[in-house]
Amino acid sequence: MPNIIDARGRSCPEPVIMTKNALDSNPNTSLKVLVDTNVAVENIKRFASSKGYNVRVNKNNDEFQIQISK
């Protein structure tokens, strides 16, 4: 089961920092990040991809689930 980070309601760069800290502490784990802005989605996708992670985004109403895995 992936770790879950709930970054809804937080403004950038906080969701990216939360994602970075989670990946730094467990680099080989799956991670699910919940956000509610397109800016956070794009910034997290860019960050995770630059670190070699696979990224998938699912939109559910006004929220996004970002799946990050190696």
Q: 41 catalytic, yes or no?
A: no
Query: Side chain identity at 14, as an amino acid letter?
Result: E
**Which residues, 6 or more positions from 5, have their beta carbon under 8 angstroms from its beta carbon?**
15, 18, 19, 22, 31, 32, 33, 34
Catalytic-labelled residue, pool 3, 8, 10, 12? 12
Q: Which helix (H) or strand (E) holds 9?
A: none
Give the residue numbers annotated as catalytic, written as ranges.
Answer: 12
